[in-house]
A and B are shown apart, each in its own frame.
Chain A
Amino acid sequence: MLKILKYSFYDLIRSRWSYVYLLFYLALGFVLLFLNNDLSKAVITLMNVIIILVPLIGTIFGVMYYYNSKEFTELLLAQPIKRSSIFLGQYLGVALSLSMSLVIGLGLPFAMYGLFQSSAIWEFSLLLITGTFLTLIFTALAFNIALYNENKIKGFSYAILLWLFMAVIYDGLFLMSLIMFESYPLDKFSIGVTLFNPIDLSRILILLKLDISALLGYTGAVFQKFFGTNLGVILSCIALSIWVFLPTFNIYRKSKKKDF
């Protein structure tokens, strides 16, 4: 598996798209910092960008890579290599090269603007951690979509739909259900619903850092416990890890059974 990972990773970091992605983050970082020179403000703006954009790029890139390397995958399949190693290796290759672009692309401008002397360093590391989590999750989901759909167009459509659902529609439905059932106690429900969407989970992790004052304004005991103690951070991290594990495990499972 490590060999496959290595080759996928090298293949990707030499591809044009990785550079585009890296340059995009570099540009974003520098422009944001150039415009207001304020690290905390830039971190907040970035956070909004990251939790939307990283999943989008993760899914699109994952699906694209899978379809593009299909013939090569078949070549690999005929080699004496375990099937799951091929797919997990490729998946990790994509996810890691994307994460690396993210970390370098954003880390470089921020480091140059004095991140290490700033109080925003925790917020910023949190941002990178959630960004990496989201990359891992959405690339894995993309691989799942691609594994189940031979048709490229279909695969791409599902990928976009998945992103749209997780980033926008889910929260819309969530909001509507909260308003509809507002006369009931909803704090357990709303925390529960959050756990089922990795984008919401990452959002919560960042909220815990940026908006803790507002979150504590709500009276529910469960909310208080979730947001007021470390429970929120721990639970969110566990849920995110499960979100990484499940699709990855399914790649492993599905790749063993699939025909090529």
Chain B
Amino acid sequence: MIKIDNLHKDFGKNQVLKGVDLSIAEGGIFAILGPNGSGKTTLIKSILGMVIPNKGDIFIDDTPIKKSWKYREQIDYLPQIANFPANLTVQELIRMIKDLRNKPGDDTALISSFQLSPFLDKKLSNLSGGTKQKVNLVLTLMFDSPLIILDEPTTGLDPIALLELKKIIQIEKEKGKTVLITSHIMSFVEEIADEIVFLLEGKVYFKGNISTLKEKTKENDFEHAIANLLKENNA
């Protein structure tokens, strides 16, 4: 599904990605983890074409993404911070994104599961952070694309919405889709991720499923295992 070869990216003096090689197969939930500044968001943005790499190639379904934009039709992306044009209502925003993508989207189910119907005619500037995140999720998940990228999807969600989110992700997985997730909530990752990609200092430091990770680090607890990875590196 995704293949990344020797990806380099720097922002001025700050080298963020120093040769990432990664391939992600079709189907399944992949969590991209790593300490702050390890390049998670840069990696995701590179895949989306928002960051232009200095070196290296990215292939999606075996086609390079360089200088192309059509491939983004295959991707649903949830950005980290949701900030929308303040003068639009929720409904108008949904309609607008559908219009921009030129695709029908199934938003009714999502709206009811996130209980957004009372907010549909409200302006986005009047919504709380959590509600905005729900709108953000609706905008992302209403399309039926084979690749879903979620950057910190849990931010600001209440427990009910969180449960809904997990349910939806599972359903999408069962449809055979590929889901990339970054998150700081380890329990959330442990619960849903099939495989972990651990980034450290701009490289893929570990890739495998959770049990392999636990075995490798000889820790029973997932959170500890992650912490162990970091320590090991420091030692």
Most buried by B among A15, A81, A258: A81
Within 8 A of A (CB), among B87-106: 87-88, 96-97, 99-101
Task: Write out the residue numbers on chain A whose beta carbons fall within 8 Å of the beta carbon of B100.
Answer: 3-4, 7, 76, 79, 81
* Interface pair B50/A77, CB less than 8 Å apart: yes
Give the chain B neighbours of A71 by CB distance below 8 A. 79, 81-84
Q: How far is the CB of B123 from chain A (nearest CB, A)?
A: 10
CB closest residue in chain B, given A257:
B52
The answer to whether A80 and B85 have CB atoms under 8 Å apart is: no
Chain B residue contacts of A15, Cβ below 8 A:
86-87
Residue on A nearest B101 in the bound complex, by CB: A79
Q: What per-residue 1/0 map shows which CB atoms of B19-58 lie under 8 Å from chain A? A: 0000000000000000000000000010011111000000
- In contact, B72 and A11 (Cβ under 8 angstroms): no
Q: Is the CB of B83 within 8 A of A259?
A: no
A15 to B50 CA separation, bound complex (whole angstroms): 28
B141 at the binding interface (Cβ < 8 Å): no
Within 8 A of B (CB), among A235-260: 257-260
Query: A79, B52: Cβ atoms under 8 Å?
Result: no
Interface size on B, residues (CB 8 A): 30
Question: For the complex, what is the distance from the CA of A102 to the CA of B114, rounded to whole Å?
Answer: 43
Contact indicator B69/A81 (Cβ below 8 Å): yes
Q: Is A75 an interface residue (CB 8 A)?
A: yes
Most-contacted residue by chain B among A11, A71, A80, A257 (CB, 10 A): A80
Q: Given A82-B69, A259-B11, A260-B45 in contact, is the A75-B84 Cβ separation under 8 Å?
A: yes
B69 proximity list for chain A (CB < 8 A): 80-83
Cβ 8 A contact of A11, one of B48, B52, B87? B87
Question: Knowing A79-B72, A80-B70 touch, does A7 contact B85 (C-beta < 8 A)?
Answer: yes
Shortest distance between the CB of B65 and any CB in chain A (Å):
12
The residues of A that contact B82 with a CB separation of less than 8 Å are 71, 75
The residue of chain A having its C-beta at the shortest distance from the C-beta of B85 within the complex is: A11
Taking a contact as CB atoms under 8 Å apart, the answer to whether B85 and A259 are in contact is no
B199 within 8 A of A: no
A181 close to B (CB within 8 Å): no
B73 contacts A by Cβ under 8 Å: yes
Contact status A259-B73, CB under 8 Å: no
**In the bound complex, what is the Cα–Cα distance between A75 and B96 (angstroms)?**
12
Q: Which residue of A lies closest to B83 (CB)?
A: A71
Contact of B51 among A14, A75, A81, A259 (CB under 8 A): A259
Q: Does B198 make an interface contact (CB < 8 A)? A: no
Per-residue A-contact encoding for B66-84, CB less than 8 Å = 1, 0 else: 0001111101010101111
Segment 3-49 of A: residues with Cβ below 8 Å from B: 3-4, 7, 11, 14-15
Q: Is A229 an interface residue (CB 8 A)?
A: no
Q: Is A69 an interface residue (CB 8 A)?
A: yes
Q: Mark B138-168, 1 if CB is under 8 A from A, else 0.
A: 0100000000000000000000000000000
Return the CB mask of A32-76 against B: 1 if under 8 Å, else 0.
000000000000000000000000000000000000011110111
Smallest distance from the beta carbon of A14 to chain B beta carbons, Å?
4
Report how far A115 CA is from B65 CA in the complex, Å. Answer: 56
- Contact for A78 among B77, B81, B88, CB less than 8 A: B77
Is A80 within 8 A of B87, CB to CB? Answer: no
Q: Which residues of A contact B70 (CB under 8 A)?
A: 80
State the Cβ distance, B71 to closest chain A Cβ, in Å.
8
Known: A3-B99, A11-B88, A78-B72. A260 touches B83 (CB 8 A): no
- Expressed in whole angstroms, the minimum distance between the Cβ of B8 and any Cβ of chain A is 13
- In the assembled complex, which residues on chain A have CB atoms less than 8 Å from the CB atom of B87? 11, 14-15
Distance (Å) between the CB of A114 and the closest chain B CB? 36
- How many whole Å from B200's CB to the nearest CB in chain A? 22
27 A-B pairs whose Cβ atoms sit less than 8 Å apart in the complex: A3-B99, A4-B100, A7-B85, A11-B87, A11-B88, A14-B87, A69-B85, A71-B82, A72-B85, A75-B139, A76-B100, A77-B48, A78-B48, A78-B50, A78-B72, A78-B77, A79-B100, A79-B101, A80-B70, A80-B73, A81-B72, A83-B69, A258-B52, A259-B11, A259-B51, A260-B45, A260-B51
| Residues of A that sit less than 8 Å from B by CB | 3-4, 7, 11, 14-15, 69-72, 74-83, 257-260
Q: A72-B85, A79-B97, A259-B50 are in contact. List 11 more A-B contacts (CB 8 A).
A: A4-B100, A14-B87, A15-B86, A74-B50, A75-B84, A75-B139, A78-B48, A80-B69, A80-B72, A81-B72, A259-B9
- Give 3 nearest A-B pairs by CB, closest first: A71-B83, A78-B77, A80-B72
